[in-house]
Amino acid sequence: MKGQRLFVRPIEESDAVPVRDFLSRNGMQADPPRCGLLGKLVGELVAVLAMELEGDEVRIEHLIVDAELRRKRIGRVMLSELAALAAKMDRRWLVASNASGREFFSRVGFVDDGHAMRREVGTP
Ligand SMILES: CC(C)(COP(=O)(O)OP(=O)(O)OC[C@H]1O[C@@H](n2cnc3c(N)ncnc32)[C@H](O)[C@@H]1OP(=O)(O)O)[C@@H](O)C(=O)NCCC(=O)NCCS
């Protein structure tokens, strides 16, 4: 990703086909999220984040980075963008409800509270 900027925006209905293709290419047979973000690098879809809003929490249902582009900080940037959005929506917590990805979430500042991994919005 060096020198290239990840463009992140909310998923729209018209993204359904490319998002479904992306998820399937990356081993996930799932409907495109009703609520989520996508990340693009030079116009190519490289990351999808599905989320739900619940009280003062933004719950991350899943975050998938293109298998060929992992460990290049794309996941980290997706979460920074999510945190900026959560702050605008006055939500206090980012919560990762999915058990997989624990090590990644812990590397990017999430802490296990015994039920889920969470990070307070506003902490880097
Ligand atoms: C987990 C996932 C989203 C991480 O995305 P990524 O773009 O590769 O992560 P980043 O490059 O931004 O990594 C951020 C930090 O997490 C660490 N990290 C990333 N993946 C990791 C893993 N599988 N295990 C341990 N640490 C990991 C990186 O080393 C980096 O640490 P550092 O900045 O301190 O060096 C990606 O591997 C993926 O899509 N996996 C399959 C789906 C999945 O398991 N999603 C998570 C739960 S839904």
Q: Indicate the pTM of the whole model.
A: 0.95
Choose between 99 and 116: higher pLDDT: 116
Task: Count the helix, strand and coil residues of the chain and give each as a percent rounded to the nearest 5.
Answer: 30, 30, 40
pLDDT of 1 over the 70 cut: no
Signed CA dihedral, 84, 88, 94, 100: sign only? negative
d(CA 109, ligand 1 centre) in Å = 12
Mutate to test the pocket of ligand 1, among 107, 117, 119 (most ligand atoms within 8 A of CB): 107
d(CA 5, ligand 1 centre) in Å = 18
pLDDT of 2 over the 70 cut: no
pLDDT band of residue 99 (cuts 50, 70, 90) is: confident
Instruction: Provide the Cα torsion 84, 124, 117, 6; round to 10°.
Output: 50
